[in-house]
Amino acid sequence: MRRPRAVVHDAPLPLPLRLWRATRVTIHVAAGLATTSLVFPLVKPPTRRALVRRWSGKLLRLLRVEARVEGRLDAHRGNVLIVANHVSWLDVFVLNAQHPARFVAKSELGAWPLAGRLIRGAGTIFVERARRHDTRRVNHHAARALEAGDVVAVFPEGTTTAGHEVLRFHASLLQPVVETRGHVQPVAIRYRDAAGRHTSAAAYVGDDSFAASFWRICGARALVVEVLAAAPLPAQHGDRRALARASEAAIRTALGLPASATAPGRGDDPAGGSP
């Protein structure tokens, strides 16, 4: 079933301001590409993470996106898998502005102009969903990253929503944190406008192209993104399906949504990260 496009009711910014914002963001992306290409190979991981966090925070400011964090994002010790619901390509930078992570995303993102090169340079782990067993390779790389002290982030819904719902979580990409005996950090993401109303301006759903989504976000007068961190879940004594169900339940609770009525099932379909 085809999902609907994002619907925005507020009038967008006047065209000159919208163009100015888009231009500034494009310049910022170009600067990020230069940093990942020229600086990242010369500096250690803590410095790279600091640069990613600073760059992501500035991106949000340029787009007039205010992040409001509730709860404690307990990822500073490493060996943490951030598990979040997925609304927009902007989610990646919202989370990176709080604590940089290596994201698992579908391989198509690497082909995006500019943005694809940027997220590839930031250490994104790409999964080819057309290859049935590629999740095994991805999980191997994710486990090695967790063992090295990195934070890894996944979107277990495998696609995006407009933010009104949470889809069933697939469990396959939670396997690495079980193997490394780490922790799962459930994080709920929700976008509102300046008046506090739910908005789908940031949503990247249905037939949206990246260009259309980017242009719509540039036209938003102001956005607030709520980052709701639930209590971390220990993975040492769990299994990936139980962790997926517990993470989904924690995120539903944070968003004020009812418990899932869908039977747990296997939940092992490959989850592809960003749309």
Cβ pair 206, 48 in contact under 8 A: no
Q: Show Cβ contacts of residue 111 under 8 Å, excluding neighbours closer than 6 positions.
A: none
Task: Quote the pLDDT of residue 3.
Answer: 47
- Asked if 80 and 151 count as a contact pair (C-beta separation under 8 A), the reply is yes
Instruction: State the sign of the Cα–Cα–Cα–Cα dihedral 143, 144, 148, 151.
Output: negative
Residues 175, 158: Cα–Cα separation, whole Å: 15
pLDDT digits (tens, 9 = 90+) for 134-166: 888 889 999 999 999 889 999 999 889 988 899
Q: What is the 3-state secondary structure (H, E, C) of the chain?
A: CCCCCCCCCCCCCCHHHHHHHHHHHHHHHHHHHHHHHHHHHHCCHHHHHHHHHHHHHHHHHHCCEEEEEECCCCCCCCCEEEEECCCCCHHHHHHHHHCCCEEEEEHHHHHCCCHHHHHHHCCCEEECCCCCCHHHHHHHHHHHHHHCCCEEEECCCCCCCCCCCCCCCCCHHHHHHHHCCCEEEEEEEEEEECCCCECCCCCCCCCCCHHHHHHHHHHCCCEEEEEEECCCEECCCCCHHHHHHHHHHHHHHHHCCCCCCCCCCCCCCCCCCCC
pLDDT computed for residue 31 by the predictor: 95
Question: What mean pLDDT is predicted for residues 102-126?
Answer: 76
User: What confidence score (pLDDT) does residue 7 get?
Assistant: 53
Instruction: Provide the token pair at 113.
Output: 């102009």
Whether 190 contacts 84, CB under 8 Å = no
Enumerate domains of the chain plus CATH numbers: 15-255 (3.40.1130)
Report pTM.
Answer: 0.88
Contact 205, 160 (CB under 8 A): yes
The answer to whether 156 and 244 have CB atoms below 8 angstroms apart is: yes
Rounded CA-CA distance 54/27 in Å is: 15
Asked if the model's pLDDT at residue 237 lies above 70, the reply is: yes
Indicate whether 245 pLDDT > 60: yes
Q: How confident is the model at residue 113 (pLDDT cuts 50, 70, 90)?
A: low
Distance in angstroms (rounded) separating the CA atoms of residues 209 and 158: 17
The string of pLDDT tens digits covering residues 23-60 is: 999 999 999 999 998 999 999 989 999 999 999 999 99
Give φ, ψ of 272 to 5 degrees.
Answer: -100, 10
- Sign of the dihedral through C-alpha 213, 28, 124, 116: positive
**Of the candidates 156, 131, 127, 122, which has an alpha carbon nearest to the alpha carbon of residue 142?**
127
Confidence of residue 275 (pLDDT cuts 50, 70, 90): very low
